[in-house]
Amino acid sequence: MPIAYTQWAATYELFEGESARETWRQGIAADLAKLADGPGRVLDLGAGTGIGTRVLGELLPRLEVTSLDRSPEMLDWGKVPKARQIVCDMTDFRAGEGFPGGAFDFVVSGFDALNYLPPEALAGCLASAADALRPGGHMVFDYSTRKVLSADWAALEYSQEKDGHTLHRRHVWERAHDRSRTVLTLSRGGEILWRETHIQYVVDPFTLEEVARANGLHTVAVRNIDSDAYSPSHTTHLYVLRRK
């Protein structure tokens, strides 16, 4: 999973912050508000610059959030306190190597972070999440659907301009590999500052449920990110899983 985000860290919130915050509010935060009946410990997977951590801190201040990401640059840029950082790969952080297994009431992952995992890595992530959760604890995450990756973004190219920077995005659905490739290019004054390629994958809800069940989690609910309804063709779904 060759995604560094070292370059992206400094400009991530400039271009993605508003959309990410709204996604967290509509999705994970809304469901945690129903599930959390008091103080609790939360592990945020693929936390990046800690946008989700801050949203949860504002809306659900009784929850203590620990941020896990493979990029220390992203965590530091977001001023996530060192005591609340875990720097490791979200695909394999199982208890037994100094990780506090069974310590968390909730494991969350927002703004399509799990879409960056191919199916075998997604299985490892879910297994690690189950290990991190206490019995009866919940995993809550949003997940982009095949529709948005293979149809809406099948051949999409556009640019955004903010604070003198231009971010160009080129999305391509690679049918032969069943994945989406996005090339991000940041420039200023016509000079290219950096370019990164991101790969996203998708599994259908039935397969995701099977993988979760095989790793000790069962599905409690699946809904569209912006409502209580469920539609297979929606752009993003919100999943709630529970450790047995």
Output the 3-class SS for the chain. Answer: CCCCCCCHHHCHHHHHHHHHHHHHHHHHHHHHHHHCCCCEEEEEECCCCCHHHHHHHHHCCCEEEEEEECCHHHHHHCCCCHHHEEECCCCCCCCCCCCCCCCEEEEEECCCHHHHCCHHHHHHHHHHHHHHEEEEEEEEEEEECHHHHHHHCCEEEEEEEECCEEEEEEEEEECCCCEEEEEEEEEECCEEEEEEEEEECCCCHHHHHHHHHHCCEEEEEEEECCCCCCCCCCCEEEEEEEEC
What's CA 238's distance to the chain center, in Å? 11
- The C-alpha atoms of residue 34 and residue 59 are separated, in whole angstroms, by 12
First to last CA, the chain: 29
Pick the closest to residue 71 from 53, 102, 101, 48 (CA basis). 48
Pick the closest to residue 146 from 237, 27, 77 (CA basis). 237
Residue 8's pLDDT band, with cuts at 50, 70 and 90, is confident
pLDDT at residue 4 tops 50: no
For the whole prediction, is pTM greater than 0.85?
yes
pLDDT at residue 2 tops 60: no
- The C-alpha atoms of residue 157 and residue 170 are separated, in whole angstroms, by 4
- Comparing 42-46, 77-81, 124-128, 199-203, the range with the smallest average pLDDT is 77-81
Task: Determine the pLDDT at residue 56.
Answer: 97
- The C-alpha atoms of residue 144 and residue 150 are separated, in whole angstroms, by 11
> What domains are defined for the chain?
8-144+203-243 (3.40.50.150), 147-200 (2.20.25.110)
Give the model confidence (pLDDT) of 92-148 as tens digits.
887 655 677 789 999 999 999 999 999 999 999 999 999 999 999 999 999 999 999
| Residue 157 burial by Cβ neighbours in a 10 Å radius (0-12, 13-18, 19+) | exposed
Per-residue tokens: 54: 């801050």
